[in-house]
Amino acid sequence: MPAVAISEIVGPASTAGRGVGAFNVIGIEHAEAIVAGAEAAGAPVVLAISQNCVAYHGALEPIAAAMLALAGAAAVPVAVHLDHATGEDLVRAAADAGLGSVMYDASGLPYAGNVAATARVSRWCHDRGIWTEAELGEIGGKDGVHSPRARTRPDQAAAYAAATGVDALAVAVGSSHAMLTRDAVLDLGLIARIHQAVPVPLVLHGSSGVPDEGLAAAVTAGMTKINVATQLNKAFTAAVRARLAADPALVDPRRYGADGRDAVAREVTRLLQVLRAAGTC
């Protein structure tokens, strides 16, 4: 079975008010762990690969092929998604590699330029059956749209979604990328207002910095796709560090790699259960 279209995961979840976990892959161990964690939770999942991770590997194709193979063999629906692509060449590479969805990030551009570039990429993707996600630019705070102080305006979000034709919209509601602590406070009232104003599913980036209760409340308020990267890297690295510290003579990467992979799978299962609980309350 091939990878599932992300619309088949995000669409029904959005309609039903459920959350979808979208987890960033680093290497194949992450991808294996995310699929295993989703299977243990009995939940669909999105495997995401970022432009930064493509740069780490030096190319998209090998890791994308591994992700698609794992998605195709999974016991639950798994979609494979390109996360935070700032270049149109990488969007084209994702299409060539068989990925079904992309997040095109023109948020560094002024509003009009962002709208024009995103509308162009969205049209190009839709002509090829590819689902697109995008985000508004800097709204407040000097660290950009993902500053914890940045806020998306509901009226501008609605205008942006209509003008670009995107299938999902990443919004700034209090989370921030790469947080090592889970103490971000989301603006739940704003999530609800954006959800009312915007017809497409909403995406929360920087979810690793949000505690479990905050993630559940965000879904209840109208958030659908929950992007998690740093939280899994914390789990992976802590498990590897503990194993290496306990056994300084260890050299076989399979031994500590398996510990990291198991830790990621457990955290994926746990987070998917948090999201599912939010959707049923």
CA angle at 187 for the pair 181 and 190, rounded to the nearest 5°: 150
212 is catalytic: no
The tokens describing 257, both together, are 């790699």
- Please give the Cα distance from 164 to 182 (Å, whole number): 33
- 122/227 with CB nearer Zn ion: 227
Q: Tell me how far, at minimum, the Cβ of 83 lies from Zn ion, in Å.
A: 6
Question: What letters, b where the CB count within 10 A reaches 16 and e where it falls short, cover 44-82?
Answer: bbbbbbbbebbeeeeebeebbebbbebbeebebbbbbbb
Catalytic residue among 83, 167, 187, 259: 83
- CB nearer to Zn ion: give 37 or 209: 209
User: Among 12-20, 41-49, 202-210, 271-279, which window interacts with Zn ion (CB under 5 A)?
Assistant: 202-210
The residue number with the shortest CB distance to Zn ion is: 205
Residue number with CB closer to Zn ion (195 or 205): 205
Q: Considering only CA atoms, which of 4, 82, 81 is closest in space to residue 43?
A: 4
Window 91-130: contact mask with Zn ion (x via CB under 5 A)? ----------------------------------------
Taking the alpha carbons at both ends of the chain, their separation in whole angstroms is: 33
Q: What type of residue sits at position 116?
A: A
**Cβ-based nearer residue to Zn ion, 151 or 261:** 151
Find the shortest distance in angstroms from Cβ 48 to Zn ion: 9
Q: Tell me if 205 contacts Zn ion by CB under 5 A.
A: yes
Residues annotated as catalytic (active site), given as ranges: 83
Residues making contact with Zn ion (CB under 5 A) = 205
